[in-house]
Structure 1
Amino acid sequence: MPVRRIALGRAEEATHPDSIRAALAEFFSTLIFVFAGEGSVMAYAKLTGGDSTTPSGLVAVALAHALGLFVAVAVAINISGGHVNPAVTFGALMGGHISILRGILYWIAQLLGAVVASLLLKFTTNGRSTSPFAVSSGVGSWNAVVLEIVMTFGLVYTVYATAIDAKRGSLGTIAPLAIGFIVGANILAGGAFDGASMNPARAFGPALVSGKWRYHWIYWVGPLIGGGFAGLLYEWLMVPSEPLHQPLQPEDY
């Protein structure tokens, strides 16, 4: 089982140059993503005087997140794996692809990147408040938790298939694009209900800067369950311990 492959990591890993470079890559990539994503929400609200759950606003915000995440993953994927998300890191941990110690470094870097991005947005917009995630009227908290589980499962499953799986072949070249697309699509599907975070760091930065925490727990519980389950399921079902044949290449389909 994948859970047996979880490793604590060695103490020297915390100060190893490769670990430091990877953590820095996660910091800057998360900063880029949150600045673009949260910035699109704030910009749309300023331009229209409304919120991003109108049809045009939802499309604009989904596109900004998709493009921002595409770039954020692309610039970090060769250094840190391009997680840009504590739920992705947790999914990789549950599948045995990252140690607990390195995962903690990633989490710290991702959360700091999100906070710095939110502070920069507040400063550059002359004190305009960031927009923490919240559950829409008529949607229960546990409805939102399940929604976050399902959306984050799809995201982390996509990460595994295109960026982590050793059999990905040439599919690895489109990993950043596929990851950005699934986040954009999920925002179109769930943004009107709970904002469609799928990323605890994306939720943490705006919540800390705005000081609004009412629904914040949802955006940790749902993504971590969905991401962890995706990592376990992919390793258990899709990665045989002893391959019986050479897997087909994408061009053979």
Structure 2
Amino acid sequence: MPVEAEKLELEELDKTLLNRDKPKPQSKYERIFQPCIAELVGTTFFVFIGCVSVIENVEAAGRLQPALVHGLAVAVLVACMAEISGSHFNPPFTIAIWLCGGMQLTMVVPYLISQLIGGVLGAAMSKVMTSDENYANATGAAFAVLKSDEQLGKVVFAEMAMTCLVTLVVLMGAVNGKSKSPMVPFMVGCTVIVNILAGGDVSGTCLNPARAFGPALVANHWTYHWVYWVGPLGGGLVAAALMRLLLGDEKLRVVMK
């Protein structure tokens, strides 16, 4: 009997230790509401800081000031909130990540709504912070580079290609099992910086419909606004297709397994 009792005690102790080591299941708040709040807050501050960098841009700095501000803001926010929401802050990222199996369909629309609301709040904050003169001169940091239909083809292509690049970086670094990396915040931030430096004069380098929508709404500037939805969303879809068909690991690819 003493031996049997001792064995029972050891079994109970093992069960206790195993249960202690198991992660506690997340609450409904942590699974559904907290990620949406993180997307809203993250997008708000990204758009806020980005818009301010454009509105108060020092002429001598040229594209360097907004490029560094947008890129570093992305890097910091992604590093801070990746474990809460995945740190998308961008509709094309969310759609591409879902298409590559990185999130549930039920969370896609809440994420998109949170990002668009965050874009509006961030743009409104930038208007409060900056001078009326600078705000008007910069059209509230809405994208006003596109002036005529002759530019349309180049601008749509630029937005699509550059968004495809940064979305690929996100998918390769955060979703694809074979290439996941803890350096994702740094890689995404650097990609944003080089994209703005390379394509700022061509399209303004939006890459993010939430970043376009907020300033457009607050400044009431809708000229060619659709371009900054079509280009980035198209680029995100191309990136997801490349991952699913060619670049993804065996689990992610749908062909040539």
In structure 1, the residue matched to 2:145 is 135
SS of 2:101 mapped into structure 1:
coil
1:167 Cα deviation (Å)? 2.4
Conserved 8 A contact 1:114-1:201: yes
Structure 1 runs (4+) deviating above 4 angstroms are: 136-139
Q: Which residue of structure 1 aligns with residue 5 of structure 2? A: none
Paired position in structure 2 for 1:43: 56
TM-score (normalizing by structure 2): 0.79
Q: Does 1:90 align with 2:95?
A: yes
Question: Gapped runs of 5+ residues in structure 2?
Answer: 1-27, 253-257
Q: What is residue 32 of structure 1 aligned with on the other side? A: 45
Secondary structure of residue in 2 paired with 1:213? coil
After TM superposition, the structure 1 = structure 2 runs for residues 9-20 of structure 1, keeping only pairs within 5 Å, are 17-20=30-33
Residue identity over aligned pairs, in percent, reads: 36
State the SS of the aligned residue for 1:177.
helix
Q: CA RMSD in A?
A: 2.0
110, 116, 122: which one aligns with 2:115:
110
User: How far is the alpha carbon of 1:239 from its aligned partner?
Assistant: 2.5
Q: TM-score scaled by structure 1? A: 0.81
1:120, distance to aligned residue in structure 2 (A): 1.0
Conserved 8 A contact 2:206-2:228: yes
SS of 2:127's equivalent in the other structure is helix
SS in 2 for 1:78: helix
- Alignment partners' CA distance in 1, 2:240 and 2:158: 18
Paired residues of 1:136 and 1:192 also in contact (CA < 8 A): no
Aligned residues: 219
Tell me what 2:228 maps to.
219
The residue type equivalent to 2:39 in the other structure is E
Counterpart Cα distance in 1 of 2:71 and 2:110: 25
- What corresponds to 2:161 in structure 1? 150
Q: Provide the residue aligned with 2:171 in structure 1.
A: 160
Query: Could you tell me how far apart the structure 1 residues matched to 2:249 and 2:55 are?
Result: 46
Q: For residues 194-246 of structure 1, give each alpha carbon's deviation from its aligned partner in whole angstroms, at most 9, with x where no partner exists.
A: 10000000111110000010111001001001101101211221234369xxx
Q: Distance in 2 between matches of 1:240 and 1:209?
A: 42
More deviation, 75-84/195-204: 75-84
Flag the structure with larger Rg.
2
User: What residue in structure 1 maps to residue 200 of structure 2?
Assistant: 191
Aligned to 2:191: 182
Can you give the 5+ residue segments of structure 1 that lack an aligned partner in the other structure? 1-14, 49-53, 244-253
List per-residue Cα deviations over 1:134-163 (Å, max 9, x = no partner): 234576112111111100000000001111
Superposed CA offset, 1:7-34 (max 9, x none): xxxxxxxx76412111111111111211
* Superimposed CA distance per residue, residues 158-196 of structure 1 (whole angstroms, 9 cap, x where no aligned partner): 001111222235xx2210010011011000111011100
| Comparing 126-135 and 16-25, the one that deviates more | 126-135
Match of 2:16 in 1: none
Q: 1:121 to 1:89 in 2, by over 3 A?
A: same
Amino acid at match of 1:91: A
Residue in structure 1 matching 2:66, options 61, 67, 78: 61
Contact 1:70 1:177 in 2 (8 A): yes
Q: 2:251, 2:81 → 1: CA distance?
A: 31
